[in-house]
Structure 1
Amino acid sequence: MKPAGVSVITVIILALLILSSGCTGPASPAGPVPLEKPVFVNATTNETLVAFVHEAVAYAKIHGKDAALAEFSNPEGSFVRGELYIFAYDFASTTLAHPFSPEKIGINRMNEPDAFGNLYAQGFIDAINKGDGFVWFYYKNPAHNDSIEKKLGYVAKVDDDWWLGSGVYYGPAEPVIPPIQKSPSTTQEIKDFVDSAVAYAQENGKDAALAMFNDP
């Protein structure tokens, strides 16, 4: 009978161990899985941008210049898709179509700078002369209350008279801080500046020194 008694005790011990480990109850819920920080991806890829412009070029060749320019200038037209829209220029940099800046149509913009002084139209022409290409510039975003944003443009020619382009916005433009005239900044520079002013006053007199110091 002893072996049987040992067997029962062994079973009881095993049962207690199983209960204490919680194996007989429902599995406890796993802790929250941390979410990965989303990686910013621009809404429009470069491939989509290029395909959009080439689609517009094909449209112009099929439907003709006048019909195409009317369609490209229509803010409710088929070539306004989210942040993407088509603009058209001739090779003198005169605007032929623009859905959000109709006041610019007929205006030559060769020497028109962007918000930071870049002659972006010249950049377009340089790219077009190579067949097509990308150009960085700064332009107002109609989707963000016309705020100035950095933009990557892609341009391609329709024929030897005119070309089309579009662009992708890359967020607010970073302001360019112009260089300022250097002034004393370190403690030693300030001390030297004051010492030289005192020496000048002692050598040339109060009136002459004040006149010199007040001269901008």
Structure 2
Amino acid sequence: MNRWLPGCVAGLCLVLLLSAGCVSPAEDDTPSPGTIRAFVEDARSYAESIGKEAALSEFQKTDGRFTRDGWYIYAYDTDMILLAHPYEQASVGTNRSGWTDIRGLPVIRIGRDSAAEGGGYVAYLYPRAGESGIDEKARETYEPKIGYVAPAGEGWWIGSGMPLADLAGPGEGEYPAPVRMMVDLVHAGTAYARAEGPDAARAAISDRAGPFIDSSGHYLYAYQYDGTLVAHPYLPELIGTNLIGRRDPYGMENIRALAETAEAGGG
């Protein structure tokens, strides 16, 4: 029998996390995605008032007004040439269109396209800024982050990000409650499969009225490790189809990445 892996839709989790707010990271013990958006919008207003070159000079500083407590602003032009980054100064002036995180996500391309649409949130993996800066070659330092990008003027855009773990409030553990709900749902699915068997689990996962669609809109799906979809409440027509080579608009083979992550122990 082929092994299979359950998963939970992650996109909905980010939607649940989004909120509005206009506080700086220094003013809020538990920041939110709205905090990072307000931080970027503040930097955009600053650039509009002081001008592009002066703003880039400020964003570049490790001790500037927008670089503090692990928070910072980076800037790119629409050709994805890095214009400013306080912790990647050696890369300023280089084209980063081909840069990906350790899972292969083309973060800069996605950021450019999101900014071109007026701005938006981006989820990715990246090292946390520390006292010694950031080492993009240190794969073990990458962690989930949520960022926000926005146009800053004609031909350029800015962004910032925060570790997902920093969104957790007191008593919430490693991740904030909406993410924990998603993780718990996956664990519930695997426990159900062990107790009831894979056939019963696949049927329950595919049931829109079943136990694996929660009140917040999270739901489970399941694949075999070879990429064959075996359970999904909203894509019944694709059950039995091998999707291992399916690519998203950025060329990412997401099902392959999910299988590799699950086979490595989950994440």
CA contact (8 A) 2:146 2:162 kept: yes
Runs of 4+ with deviation above 4 angstroms: none
1:81 deviates by: 2.4
Match of 1:102 among 64, 89, 106: 89
Write out aligned runs for 1:3-152 (5 A): 43-143=30-130, 146=134, 147-152=141-146
1:160 deviates by: 2.5
Segment of structure 1 superposing worse, 97-106 or 146-155: 146-155
Give 5+ residue unaligned stretches, structure 2.
Answer: 1-27, 135-140, 166-173, 175-256, 262-267
Match of 1:169 among 163, 166, 188: 163
CA contact (8 A) 1:116 1:176 kept: no
CA contact (8 A) 2:112 2:157 kept: no
Matched residue of 2:113: which SS?
A: helix
Matched residue of 1:80: which SS?
A: coil
The letter for the 2-side match of 1:106 is G
CA contact (8 A) 1:89 1:162 kept: yes
CA pair 50-157 structure 1, distance change in 2 beyond 3 A: same
Write out aligned runs for 1:180-191 (5 A): none
Aligned residue in 2 for 1:22: none
Larger relative contact order, structure 1 or 2 (CA cutoff 8 Å, min sep 6)? 2
* Bigger CA radius of gyration: 1
CA contact (8 A) 1:73 1:97 kept: yes
1:61 deviates by: 1.1
Give 5+ residue unaligned stretches, structure 1.
Answer: 1-40, 180-216
Would you say how many aligned residue pairs link Structure 1 and Structure 2?
A: 139
Segment of structure 1 superposing worse, 83-92 or 163-172: 163-172
Could you tell me how far apart the structure 2 residues matched to 1:102 and 1:92 are?
Answer: 18
Aligned residue in 2 for 1:178: 260
CA pair 144-169 structure 1, distance change in 2 beyond 3 A: farther
Could you tell me how far apart the structure 2 residues matched to 1:69 and 1:134 are?
Answer: 22
Could you tell me how far apart the structure 1 residues matched to 2:260 and 2:34 are?
Answer: 35
TM-score normalised by length of structure 2: 0.48
The letter for the 2-side match of 1:60 is A
Could you tell me how far apart the structure 2 residues matched to 1:80 and 1:99 are?
Answer: 8
Could you tell me how far apart the structure 1 residues matched to 2:144 and 2:117 are?
Answer: 23
- Aligned-residue Cα RMSD (Å) equals 2.7
Residues 2-49 of structure 1 deviation map (CA, whole Å, 9 limit, x = unaligned) = xxxxxxxxxxxxxxxxxxxxxxxxxxxxxxxxxxxxxxx984211211
